[in-house]
């Protein structure tokens, strides 16, 4: 795997954001946008997915966290690939914890396929995280939930989706959010009118506010 793009904290680091890009992108795709909105004490890690064949794109090789067979909500999924990618994300979290950043000061995030991976990885991690940022995405292996969840019900989730998304249909985002709300206590689902499969300034402002608030809470709420 290519080395992740790392944006170091500009003050003493007390928090980390691990953010996964979408299909066919690299860690560079999001690093500057995230650097612009993160608090100074936060390090940002933007890993690049391994290059592999993607069934949805006729077997064409591209950076992909796991294979995508279809974008039908009930269609077959690459369960071994999703779990292997999840293990890699858990390894990145562990590395930050070993470096002295507690789990409840680590935010997981991602866009599209990366957002799907962030959601799945957070829910199946065994320590409460600071929060999850899930942009234009869905919950993979959704039929396994809430059974597969091992994290706390209280982990804050910020899910965002444009209602003009031609790639990951807005409906998938809505369905994932309503499923998440059935077993998680702190889920926000925000709609961006007219937004296609991309991000916007408004959305990034909301991500910034979410990160700031969750990290503020992790200090007051857990006596850090």
Residues with active-site annotation: 112, 165, 197
Residues in the chain: 224
Helical spans, DSSP H, in 99-192? 113-123, 170-183
CA-based end-to-end distance of the chain: 34
* Neighbouring C-beta atoms of residue 206, cutoff 10 Å: 19
E-only strand ranges, the chain = 5-7, 15-20, 42-46, 51-54, 60-63, 106-111, 131-135, 157-162, 187-192
CB 210 within 8 A of CB 156: yes
Cα 78 to Cα 179: distance, rounded to the nearest angstrom: 20
């Amino acid at each position: 795997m290519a080395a992740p793009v790392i944006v170091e904290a500009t003050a003493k680091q007390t928090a980390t954001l691990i953010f996964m890009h979408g299909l066919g992108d690299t860690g560079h795709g999001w690093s500057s946008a995230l650097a612009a909105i993160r608090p100074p004490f936060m390090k940002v890690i933007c890993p690049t997915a391994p290059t592999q064949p993607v069934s949805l794109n006729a077997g064409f090789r591209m950076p992909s966290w796991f294979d995508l067979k279809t974008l039908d909500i009930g269609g077959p999924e690459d369960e071994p690939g999703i779990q292997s990618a999840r293990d890699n994300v858990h390894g990145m979290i562990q590395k930050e914890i070993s470096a002295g950043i507690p789990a409840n000061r680590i935010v997981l995030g991602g866009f599209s396929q990366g957002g799907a991976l962030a959601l799945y990885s957070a829910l199946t991690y065994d320590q409460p995280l600071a929060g999850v940022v899930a942009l234009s995405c869905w919950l993979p292996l959704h039929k396994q939930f809430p059974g597969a969840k091992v994290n706390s019900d209280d982990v804050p989730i910020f899910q965002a989706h444009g209602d003009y998304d031609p790639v990951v249909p807005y409906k998938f985002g809505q369905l994932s959010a309503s499923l998440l709300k059935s077993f998680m206590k702190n889920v926000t689902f925000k709609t961006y009118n007219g937004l296609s499969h991309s991000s916007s300034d408004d959305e990034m402002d909301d991500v910034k506010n979410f990160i700031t608030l969750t990290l503020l809470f992790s200090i007051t709420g857990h006596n850090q």
